[in-house]
Structure 1
Amino acid sequence: MACGTGWLSAAALKRQAIVTGLDFAENMVAIAKGRCPQGSLYQGDAENLTFESGQFEAVVCSLGILHFPNPEKAIAESFHVLKSGGRYAFTCWTPPTRNPFMALILSSVQTYGSMNLNLPSGPPLFRFSDPTECEMVLSAEGFTQVSVTELPIKWTFSTPEDVMPKIIVSSVRLGSMLAMQSDEQRRNIENAIIEGASKYVTENGVEIPASVMLTLAYKP
């Protein structure tokens, strides 16, 4: 679900999975098809799936749960298309207090730009970083054995100047938040991001620590 440009689909193919990917954005699907020619990739709505009931052994959604206007509906649809015993997993960002990457981006926007933007509908940015919320929502849709694990990751960039442009093209909500600022706000935000990212320069480029919450559950 929300396969984007196909990075997770490509990783699944390397593990010998038979991959079906779906994203609402047609241009994302086009890129994903180029990255995963062996997969079956479609433009479609995660809240209104057209797949058969019990068709899949696993449904995964990497950093996409916050893109759905009604995430409960998307979770219910995923439950419907899973086989009995099938696995459902999604990731989402942890809040800035535990996530230097998010702290850098959001503090730069809050200081030099505006958070009052007409972004696409979606749940609060860190709603599903709360294990209790995840367990409650998934249990209500019929899932069992819900587990939530925090995973450290790193966002890597070639230079500090690459951070903001890369986010704009690769992250729907964060990218939109940055792209919708005025020209002056964008310049000031980018300068703040460059300054902050410079603290994470290594011999391999820029490596900014971050973390995600991985939620895993099973269909009985």
Structure 2
Amino acid sequence: MTNHPPPDPFWTFEHTAWERSARSYHNFWTRLTSQTIELLLATVQRGDPARLLDVATGAGNVAQAGVRKGMRVIGIDFSTAMLAQARKQCPEIDFCEGDAAALPFADNSFDAIVINFGLLHFDDPERALAEAYRVLCPGGWIGFTVWATPEAAIGFQIMLQAIEAHGDPNVPLPEGPSFFRFSDPAESERTLRTIGFTDPSITEVQQTWRLSSPDALFVAFYEGTARTGGLLRAQSRVALDNIREAVIKAICAYEKDGGVEIPMPAILTSAQKP
């Protein structure tokens, strides 16, 4: 176990946001982020059922899927609101509150580690990956997912373009790591190899976000995200109304069968601890 220094402003911002947005994230985003779970687990489960650590477990969906595959699972998250949902949904799983950058486990404790869309919310992703390396057994695998860049992940493209055109993308928010840093395969491979991981594998996973109405995209970001939600909540009322209108207009191109279907691919990365 390592000691983590006092949280910086970005850590506090993210923590506050997830305490506020846990339920909305679950309501709007879980059906999308769950689309990577089977591939993520298949990437790290090599052989017999393993001891799995689910970092940034959220509502526990990956942890629950791991248990169904016979894995022995612990889920960890820094948000008490997220953990409350996880424990309600999966009472049979051991969940604990903790920081990805200071994991409360001994060296070589797990055969596999997963981080499903959590890495892009960490204040110090290198430290979190180094901690994962420490608690992973030799020969074990790590797998993590992040969003593809906005050129491919259309929901982000629509939202960020609307903010750029009708709002202020530079409102004062705590500065954090680049949101799409690990969408770049070269950056992911470089970071993992620097920490000591080997055999990195990176692939794009196609996903479709199905929403009930054009307005649901704006609400999902406003109520159910940390950084983009914080950016939206910091806009003036006039700007926010214009952003919302632009999002609805843009998303109408993706209407289908009474709802909306948006391409939202993920980048799945895995590597081994030698």
TM-score of Structure 1 vs Structure 2, range by shorter chain: over 0.9
> 8 Å contact 1:69–1:121 — kept in the other structure?
no
Shift of the 107–44 alpha-carbon distance from structure 1 to 2, 3 Å rule, reads same
Structure 2 match to 1:52? 106
Using a 3 Å threshold, how does the CA distance of structure 1 residues 193 and 51 change in structure 2: closer, same or farther? same
Local SS of the residue matching 1:97 = coil
Deviations 1:48-95 (A, max 9, x none): 111121111111111111111111000000011111111101111121
Q: Give the unaligned 5+ runs of structure 2.
A: 1-54
- C-alpha contact 1:67 1:121 (8 A) present in aligned 2: no
Check the 8 A contact 1:68/1:121 in 2, yes or no.
Answer: no
Structure-1 separation of matches of 2:223 and 2:57: 15
The within-5 A match list for 1:117-156 is 117-156=171-210
What residue is the counterpart of 1:21 in the other structure? 75
Work out the CA distance in 2 between the residues paired with 1:138 and 1:35: 33
Aligned length: 220
* Residue 3 (structure 1) aligned to one of 38, 51, 57: 57
Amino acid in the other structure paired with 2:87:
K
Residue 92 of structure 1 is aligned with which of 131, 138, 146?
146
Change (3 A) 1:97 1:207: same
Per mean C-alpha deviation after superposition, the further-off stretch among 73-82 and 34-43 is 34-43
CA drift at 1:162: 1.6
2:102 partner SS? coil
Match of residue 239, structure 2, among 180, 185, 193: 185
Q: 1:136 to 1:20 in 2, by over 3 A?
A: same
The one-letter code matched in structure 2 to 1:138 is L
CA offsets 1:133-190 (integer angstroms, 9 cap, x no match) = 1111001111010011111111221111222222233332222222332222222111
Question: In the alignment, is the contact (CA less than 8 A) between 1:66 and 1:122 conserved in 2?
Answer: no
**Using a 3 Å threshold, how does the CA distance of structure 1 residues 114 and 50 change in structure 2: closer, same or farther?**
same
For residues 70 and 141 of structure 1, what CA distance do their matches in structure 2 show? 13
Please give the per-residue CA displacement for 1:17-67, whole angstroms capped at 9, x wherever unaligned. 222111122111111211222221122110011112111111111111111
Q: Give me the identity figure in percent.
A: 38
Paired position in structure 1 for 2:23: none
Bigger shift: residues 176-185 or 81-90: 176-185
Label 1:14 to 1:186 Cα distance change in 2 as closer, same or farther (>3 A).
farther
Residues 57-96 of structure 1 aligned to structure 2 (within 5 Å)? 57-96=111-150
2:249 and 2:111 map into 1 onto residues whose CA distance is: 45
CA RMSD for the aligned pairs? 1.6
Match in the other structure for 2:259 = 205
Q: Distance in 2 between matches of 1:68 and 1:165?
A: 23
Q: Name which of structure 1's ranges 179-188 and 146-155 shifts more when overlaid on structure 2.
A: 179-188
SS where residue 216 of structure 1 aligns?
strand
Alpha-carbon offset, residue 120 of structure 1: 4.3
Deviates more, 1:170-179 or 1:144-153: 170-179
Alignment partners' CA distance in 1, 2:253 and 2:170: 28
